[in-house]
């Protein structure tokens, strides 16, 4: 049985788990010619195309200030295009290109495969509990204290 390290330190153990998961996701995204963050961005755009870059960054859990590089790479690969927001000169909308749309089936299939692989590690009850904890941790910790 696996045990938690560092006396159960949440941050440290989450970090270790995330590094392990990064390898799993990297094995899925690499054959598609994508990094994990690029894969997340495309998945978010498949759900809602034409998002503000700042909203898209928030959706995939990144700071808008560190989001330019992955968008540049996706644009260089011709998977997305930036369009100015006519109401705000500083903002841009991110849209899928035809090439980006053409990967949708492969990206969504790979997402289902990796989710199924991860769900096989734990029971259905544990998976649901894990998802519940994740949802709470994704929310604002300040909100949970009020």
**Tens of pLDDT, residues 90-103:** 899 999 999 999 99
CATH number at residue 50: 1.10.10.10
pTM of the prediction? 0.85
Answer yes or no: is 65 within a domain: yes
Q: What is the pLDDT of residues 53-67, one digit of tens each?
A: 999 999 998 999 889
Is position 121 within any domain? no
91 inside domain: yes
Is 72 contained in some domain?
yes
Asked whether residue 44 is assigned to any structural domain, the reply reads yes
Q: H helices of the chain, where?
A: 10-29, 36-47, 53-59, 68-76, 98-102, 104-119, 124-138, 141-145
Look at the chain and report how many structural domains it folds into. Answer: 1
Instruction: Encode pLDDT of 16-53 as tens digits.
Output: 998 999 999 999 999 999 999 999 999 999 999 999 99
The domain of 100 spans 6-112
pLDDT at 108: 96
In a domain, 145, yes or no: no
């Amino acid at each position: 049985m696996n045990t938690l390290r560092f006396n159960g330190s949440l941050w440290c153990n989450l970090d270790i788990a995330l590094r392990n998961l990064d390898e799993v996701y990297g094995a899925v995204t690499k054959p598609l010619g994508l990094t994990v963050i690029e894969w997340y961005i495309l998945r978010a755009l498949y759900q809602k195309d034409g998002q503000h870059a700042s909203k898209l960054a928030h959706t995939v859990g990144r700071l808008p200030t560190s989001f330019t590089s992955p968008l540049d790479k996706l644009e260089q690969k011709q998977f997305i295009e930036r369009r100015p927001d006519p109401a705000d000169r500083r903002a841009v909308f991110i849209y899928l290109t035809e090439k980006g749309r053409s990967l949708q089936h492969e990206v969504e299939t790979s997402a289902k495969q990796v989710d199924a692989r991860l769900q096989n590690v734990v029971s259905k009850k544990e998976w649901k509990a894990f998802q519940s904890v994740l949802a709470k941790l994704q929310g604002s910790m300040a909100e949970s204290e009020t």
